[in-house]
Amino acid sequence: MPRLPPSLFWRARREISPMAAQLLPACRDLQSAANELRWIREHVQDTKSPIPAGLRVWQLVEKRGRGIPLQYVLGTQPFGDLEIKCRPGVLIPRPETEAYTLHLASLLSQDQPPPSSLSILDLCTGTGCIPLLLLQSLLASHPGTPISLHGIDISPHAINLARANHAHNISLHHLPPPSSSSPSTTRLTFSQLDIFSPSLIPHLLQSQPQIGELDLLVSNPPYISPTEFIHSTARAVRNHEPRLALVPPPSTGGGSQQQQQQGGITTEFHHPADIFYTRLLEIAATLKPKRVLMEVGGWEQAVRVIRLLEGSSSGVKGYGTVEIWRDEPAASFSSSLGTIKEEKVVVGGREVVVRGEGRGRAVYLSRV
């Protein structure tokens, strides 16, 4: 990371505030420092504390200046119309995740005829942001339709935070309280489970019978290799966000075909960043969801996941639609043919639709 010139700190002090200069090491430019200082001041103004407001602003500025992510400093991150609580030890929700979640909700709302019920499973749920935003969107588009959502994560900190986020958004009136609708109409639960455990699917089928008729399996799994984590991620991510949510566990074996033993399940894969995708495809082969969406870390990984699907020994069959979604899947982009929303590429002999603009962000499968 290049050093900032002293003149930039002087400009921050003169043109904005001495506190903006303290934010520069983390923000890197004047506009970002000014924006974050404004957000910190607004946060202090909107929250109660026995500590004087000026001192609280300084305390938060000092934390942010040391590189702690703003979401951990303020304790929240907007996600659609929701407010998601953020705590150290749980991955911060990203705008790209919000974009594909809203696009998923839009696709579900377009199904004809409308479904008589909806069942959704989110693996590696983290803050719970994906099922919470899906719930809010689907309650609006499917009034009166029974909706069941279940989020799973290996981290107890994540599960506790996901439950807290559900309660928090109920308190903000972004989501209805459970008492306002029959338990059989809307059900959102979070469980601490290891997706590599052999008992995962039997447990789900026993405790969540509706999982057997799954409409959507969605996952934002760890997908960064150890090498990429060291050399390609931002310093704030490496130093402050949980490695558990970013980097798959170490593999065993060697050569191009590797194995990973986790929770009693042996998974074969070809790249150290792709461990979770083979397992996700195995789960999809068993539960047979109508739709699957898996977040990925870029175009190359999206292509590898599709090749895993094509060469999978896990028995994943019947997905006539295979797509790669970019960061903004609903966006149009300019080409020599004009403004378009999709393009087509061939991966492993299969024609794949590519939607939106930005980097490759998710692989989407549909049998609908």
> In this predicted model, what pLDDT tens digit does every residue of 318-346 receive, in sequence order?
889 999 999 999 987 666 555 667 889 99
**Number of alpha helices (DSSP H) and beta strands (DSSP E) in the chain:** 13, 15
For residue 79, give the nearest of 100, 109, 48, 106 by alpha carbon: 100
Lookup: tokens for 65 = 């200046």
pLDDT beyond 60 at 359: yes
The Cα-based distances of 198 to 104, 264, 265, 307, 328 in angstroms read: 29, 6, 6, 25, 35
Q: Which residues have a Cβ under 8 Å from the Cβ of 143 and sit 6 or more positions away?
A: none
pLDDT at 178 (0 to 100): 81
pLDDT at 184 (0 to 100): 57
Q: What percent of the chain has pLDDT over 90?
A: 73
For residue 292, give the nearest of 211, 347, 214, 352 by alpha carbon: 214
pLDDT beyond 90 at 151: yes
Residue 158 in contact with residue 131, Cβ under 8 Å?
no
Bridge-based pairing state of the strands 357-366 and 291-295: antiparallel
| Number of C-beta neighbours around residue 315 at 10 A | 11
What CATH number labels 95-304?
A: 3.40.50
pLDDT at 17 (0 to 100): 95
Task: Assign 113 a pLDDT band (cuts: 50, 70, 90).
Answer: confident
pLDDT at 185 (0 to 100): 81
pLDDT in tens, 196-228: 999 999 988 887 766 668 999 999 999 999 999
Domain ranges of the chain: 6-67, 95-304
Bridge-based pairing state of the strands 147-153 and 291-295: unpaired
Is the pTM above the cut of 0.75?
A: yes
- Angle, helices 275-287/299-310, rounded to nearest 10 degrees: 40
